[in-house]
Structure 1
Amino acid sequence: MNLIAAQILLPLAGALIAFLWPRHARITGIIVAFTLVLLALSLAFAVNADGVLRTSLGGWDPPLGISLYADGLTTLFLCLTAVVGLGASLHATGYFKSGRSESDLNSIAHGWWPLWLALWAALNALFLTEDVFNLYVTLELMGLAAVALVSLEAHAVTAATRYLLVGLLGSMFYLLGVGLLYALHGTVDIRALSALLQPEPAAWVAMALMTAGLLLKAALFPLHFWLPPAHANAPAPVSAVLSALVVKAAFYVLFRLWLGPFAPIATDLAGQLLGILGAGAIIWGSLQAFMAPRLKLVVAYSTVAQIGYLFLWFPFAGSSVAGAIAWYGVVWLALSHGLAKAGLFLAAGNILHASGHDRVTDLAGVGQHMPVTLFAVGIACASIMGLPPSGGFVGKWLLLNAAFVSGQWWWAAVLLFGGVMAAAYSFRVLLHAFRNKASTVPAHTPHPLMQWSALALAVGALLLGILSAMPLQLAEIGASVGKLELTEAP
């Protein structure tokens, strides 16, 4: 089986096994998770050695067949998905048998494994596909699996329904744009469209429709209203993969389209508008995170803010030097945020399980009884704040360089404000959690896998900044922006 196709077929087979034989779902999920980490790393080494790799499913080339490809950016996102997926899978083995009745355990755990593995397959297919219609198919499969995962908790059904409706609306806009592109040029292949699209009204309408649909799915301000309740009310492993991977997938698609087919027709005004929405997300999401009464809501609104940073690439897209610096910056932020936020949601789930609540003002004693979990929160928050030497620091520093190189200093002000606010809501949580309270006794002691998986992901965000040489080298393979150059930065 070829390395590219295996990234999709293995989790799909695992989902089928978990559905048909639920008694073996847990061991199947863990085996698949470990294997996918090895496959993602193997693909990364292959791309690093041989450059961009392509394959066609069934032996048919486009437009009849489905073309898959892996470049440096694709491979980095596959590795992120594999690492977060392994962490969430290990956490789930303890989460779904800690402090629950047997009936709850059976219903939720039996739903988690097939849905999660199906979501994993859809994510990998999305990162690897090379045409805009198959991107729609993978977005739909991803969205349906994500909604079903949110609804595993009975109290999250309303949030899941809202998520479903928003996802369907976003998909409708995206599909209308795809149909318009096909009517214009008779192809849905990304490489072909990159050569064919010209600045004209119909192309601009298609770009606007597809962008609007993806903004809904990425929960960019002010279209973020569905995200906090969905992420805050879902089971902790589900919240982790939603924040770390699912919203990133929608951004990934938009990122790819603006680097490829939309690059010849995108205007500076459109890029600035997306940057303004990103700045609004940073400001609004940070303020809401600071005021949120529950820990999982803090982390959810923090996701709204952190997604905004990714959209600060668009104002620099028209500049060759600043655009390249910002490209690497947002890639690093996406990767480091994925690891840190997954760790934060898993840690928040540990606290909720142990204490029976996650009220920020009542977190006293957490540091006494769950030091590993609180250590994970602290390290993850350091990356969210952008403190050195974390991956978050590298990403924000590159965006600051892009702002000054391009002369657009106002984006630097947004970055600095976001960093200060991230510190404010992070320290608010940590100060409450570090307070001692002799009478605080955990209702349930979190399983060791739950605590160490959260810490491992948080440490991963830190290591992404320290060990950045190979990922940077990998990111350059197939990138349209060229190598990273910082010589013009002040």
Structure 2
Amino acid sequence: MRYLLLALIGSLAFLLGVALLLGTWGRLDLAGLAAVAEPSPELWVAMALLSAGLLLKAAAFPLHAWLAPVHGSAWTPVSTLHAALVIKASFFIALQLWLVLTPEAAAAAWLVGVMGAAAVVWGGLLAWRADKLKDVVAWSTVSQLGYLLIGFPLLIGTAPAVASIAWNGVWLQLLAHSLAKAAMFLAVGNLMLATGELRVSGLAGASRRFPLALLSFGIAAISLVGLPPSAGFTAKWLLLHAALAAGQWPWLVVLAAGTLLSAAYVFRVFRYSFVEDVELAEYEPVPLKMDLIA
């Protein structure tokens, strides 16, 4: 119900922005709008409405609070598809609108980048402090999407060479996160189904009893943290390269902090999984094909 309400609010904001564009310039095709739309209060209000609606659906900071409760109550396959595809679609549309309608709005893009930096840090802290397995994965989504928002100031108002590097980094991060998050949600779902535990602290002995699920989680975690030779490492390296080329030094600190926080919440899961000095309950293993899919 919460997700439905927020999705409707996001759609309403988006439609209001579309209506403002249509009422002001009489067209909705992006190529035509790019030719006739000039910087004006109407354009900025329309872009604010469009961006707010899309970023709400993408769970971008500070519009992220709904994500963990929704994933916590959803079926694992639904969470997997939502985190891997639905959120990315909203981000893709927002990025396209900015690149076409406001390609020189560097100051506004920096504001989005600051939101992304806050998302990387705050989402990482929430994931590190989360008690439930699905909450860890959900809040990590907020953190990882922050890297995509940092791409805005690297793509908008920068030199073509910088924008090209940033473009490759953003798209590789989008793809790497989609694959890693799908694997991580499926692995967590298998662990929850097998152990009956929702909490991270309830995973004692899971490494010995469910090695395939932990292996899948670990491979996904390598990409989220950004360790070589994963796609996540290459994506973050490209963003780092673009930030250096553009002289936008603050993003380097954010990238470093995000890597440390990602490692912290990932290793917290493994720390509990490798605990062996407890009495292990009798768990029912999931079918092998479920582990292989993850």
TM-score by length of 2: 0.96
Among 302, 306, 312, the alignment partner of 2:150 is: 312
Matches within 5 A, 1:298-447: 298-316=136-154, 317-319=156-158, 320-436=160-276, 439-447=279-287
The answer for the alignment partner of 2:34 in structure 1 is 194
Alpha carbons 2:127, 2:140 under 8 Å: kept: yes
**Offset at residue 325 of structure 1 (A):** 1.1
Q: 1:272 aligned to 2:110? A: yes
Give the partner amino acid of 2:124: S
2: CA distance, partners of 1:308 / 1:315:
12
Among 121, 125, 128, the alignment partner of 1:290 is: 128
The answer for the alignment partner of 2:7 in structure 1 is 167
SS at structure 2 position matched to 1:416: helix
The answer for the alignment partner of 2:47 in structure 1 is 207
2: CA distance, partners of 1:439 / 1:230:
33
Q: 1:223 aligned to 2:63? A: yes
Alpha carbons 1:383, 1:393 under 8 Å: kept: yes
**Offset at residue 164 of structure 1 (A):** 1.2
The answer for the alignment partner of 1:15 in structure 2 is none
Alpha carbons 2:58, 2:88 under 8 Å: kept: yes
**Offset at residue 194 of structure 1 (A):** 2.0
Q: Which has the larger radius of gyration?
A: 1
CA deviation profile, 1:95-120 (whole Å, cap 9, x unmatched): xxxxxxxxxxxxxxxxxxxxxxxxxx
2: CA distance, partners of 1:283 / 1:442:
38
Tell me: CA distance 1:442–1:379, structure 2 relative to 1, closer, same or farther (3 Å).
farther
1: CA distance, partners of 2:284 / 2:21:
55
2: CA distance, partners of 1:434 / 1:331:
35
Matches within 5 A, 1:225-240: 225-240=65-80
Tell me: CA distance 1:442–1:187, structure 2 relative to 1, closer, same or farther (3 Å).
farther
Identity of aligned residues (%): 48
Alpha carbons 1:286, 1:418 under 8 Å: kept: yes
TM-score by length of 1: 0.58
**Offset at residue 204 of structure 1 (A):** 1.4
Which stretches of structure 1, 4 residues or more, deviate above 6 A after TM superposition?
none
The answer for the alignment partner of 2:18 in structure 1 is 178
**Offset at residue 439 of structure 1 (A):** 3.9
**Offset at residue 344 of structure 1 (A):** 0.5
CA deviation profile, 1:388-444 (whole Å, cap 9, x unmatched): 110100110001001111111110110010001100111111121122357424533
2: CA distance, partners of 1:187 / 1:257:
14
Give the partner amino acid of 1:363: L
Q: Give ranges in structure 2 of 5+ residues lacking alignment.
A: none
Alignment length (residue pairs)? 292
Matches within 5 A, 1:455-474: none
**Offset at residue 322 of structure 1 (A):** 1.9
CA deviation profile, 1:116-139 (whole Å, cap 9, x unmatched): xxxxxxxxxxxxxxxxxxxxxxxx
Q: Give ranges in structure 1 of 5+ residues lacking alignment.
A: 1-160, 455-490
